[in-house]
């Protein structure tokens, strides 16, 4: 997100702080929430996609908030974990909730990392909050920073669709769903779809998508 965009201002403000506080839970609580929503835990989802990977690879989460998804990976044995997060409040809170995880404050469209520095770069419920006019900038940075894989878990729709976000004054232009793995491959033709699974909600017809893309056919 651009520093002066509506989305970046919202997530770095009190609105973003409220989101962080609302979603401050343990990985055990999140596993339970996923089981109720999808019929499968987040831990099991992650294992389906990353379980075969070496535990010493470098992994970056873009939009890491308090580091909950990185805690899942740490529990699974991954050792070299990094995050970048727009909210100073979430970054500060993450310091008390994580150990041996490197989370910095910064903007996803201008990440301070070398080209191909990470083995995996991922988002989880982040691209859905990026203005469609800017999402290609974040995808470009993710592509630049990864050597091998782009991994994601996002709301799914065959076509781009705006969604009203909660009952608050900042309810517009803050949430979308789309076919994000398709958007990645459209922007970067060398990306290969390694695995994609759509997880349907148990209570309604919505579904989310987890995907793993290989860079340069890797």
Q: How far apart are alpha carbons 46 and 51 in whole angstroms?
A: 7
The pLDDT of residue 1: 47
The pLDDT of residue 27: 97
Q: Which residues of 137-163 are buried (b: 16+ CB within 10 A; e: fewer)?
A: bbbebbbebbbbbbbbbbbbbeeeeee
Structure tokens at 96: 């008390």
> CB–CB of 1/109 below 8 Å?
yes
Find residue 195's DSSP bridge partners. Answer: 212
Q: How far apart are alpha carbons 84 and 62 in whole angstroms?
A: 5
Q: Along the chain (218 residues), what's the average pLDDT of each consecutive run of 10 residues?
A: 54 61 88 98 99 99 97 98 95 93 96 98 96 94 99 98 69 83 97 98 97 86
> CB–CB of 154/208 below 8 Å?
yes
> CB–CB of 150/194 below 8 Å?
no
Alpha-helix residue ranges (DSSP H) falling in the chain: 6-11, 14-22, 27-38, 42-50, 68-75, 88-97, 135-145, 180-187
pTM: 0.90
Task: Report CA-CA distances (Å) from 40 to 10, 152, 209.
Answer: 32, 17, 13
> How many H-runs (helices) and E-runs (strands) does the chain carry?
8, 9
Domains with residue ranges and CATH for the chain: 6-217 (3.40.50.150)
If DSSP codes are grouped into helix, strand and coil, which group holds residue 158? coil
Q: How far apart are alpha carbons 115 and 112 in whole angstroms?
A: 10
Burial class of residue 216 in the structure, from the number of CB atoms within 10 Å of its CB (0-12 exposed, 13-18 middle, 19+ buried): exposed
Q: Which residues of 39-71 are buried (b: 16+ CB within 10 A; e: fewer)?
A: eebbbebbeebbeebeeebbbbbbbbbbbbbbb
The pLDDT of residue 136: 96
């Amino acid at each position: 997100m651009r520093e002066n965009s509506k989305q970046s201002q919202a997530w770095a403000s009190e609105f973003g702080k409220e989101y962080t506080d609302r979603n401050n839970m343990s990985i055990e609580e999140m596993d339970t929430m996923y089981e109720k929503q999808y019929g499968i835990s987040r831990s099991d989802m992650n294992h389906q996609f990353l379980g075969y990977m070496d535990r010493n690879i470098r992994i970056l989460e873009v939009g890491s908030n308090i580091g909950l998804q990185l805690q899942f990976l740490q529990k699974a044995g991954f050792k070299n974990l990094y995050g970048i997060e727009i909210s100073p409040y979430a970054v500060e809170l993450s310091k008390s909730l994580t150990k041996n995880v490197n989370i910095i404050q910064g903007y996803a469209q201008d990440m301070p990392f070398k080209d191909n520095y990470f083995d995996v770069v991922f988002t989880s419920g982040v691209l859905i909050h990026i203005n469609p006019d800017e999402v290609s900038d974040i995808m470009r940075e993710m592509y630049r920073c990864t050597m091998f894989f782009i991994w994601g878990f996002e709301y799914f729709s065959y076509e781009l669709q705006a969604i009203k976000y909660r009952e608050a004054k900042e309810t517009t232009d803050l949430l979308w769903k789309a076919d994000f793995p398709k958007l990645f491959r459209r922007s970067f033709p060398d990306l290969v779809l390694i695995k994609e699974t759509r997880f349907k909600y148990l209570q309604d017809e919505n579904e989310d998508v987890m995907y793993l893309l290989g860079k340069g056919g890797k």
